């Protein structure tokens, strides 16, 4: 378990960054569907790779 902590921490940081970007995108003046889809795809890949 201890050897997995750095990887888990990096995944948590990446997940937080993607969530923050999605939040900022949703709060902006223009919502960009393509950018949102790209972020969601990144998040899905991250979740898939973390199992």
Write the DSSP assignment of 1-12 as a string of letters.
-GGGHHHHHHHH
Q: What is the DSSP letter of 30?
A: S
Span 23-48, average pLDDT: 95
Asked whether the beta carbons of 25 and 36 are under 8 A apart, the reply is: yes
> Cα–Cα distance between 23 and 20 in angstroms, integer?
5
Residue 13 has pLDDT above 80, yes or no: yes
Q: Which of 2, 37, 40 is nearest to 19 (CA)?
A: 40
Residue 38 has pLDDT above 80, yes or no: yes
- The whole-number pLDDT of residue 29 equals 93
- Rounded to a whole number, what is the distance in angstroms from the first to the last CA of the chain? 14
- The whole-number pLDDT of residue 50 equals 81
Read off the tokens for 29: 């003046």
Residue 20 pLDDT grade (very low, low, confident, very high; cuts 50, 70, 90): very high
pTM for this model (two decimals): 0.85
């Amino acid at each position: 378990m201890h050897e997995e902590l750095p990887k888990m921490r990096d995944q948590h940081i990446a997940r937080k960054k993607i969530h923050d970007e999605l939040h900022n995108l949703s709060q902006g003046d223009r919502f960009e569907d393509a950018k949102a889809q790209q972020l969601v795809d990144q998040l899905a890949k991250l979740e898939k790779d973390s199992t």
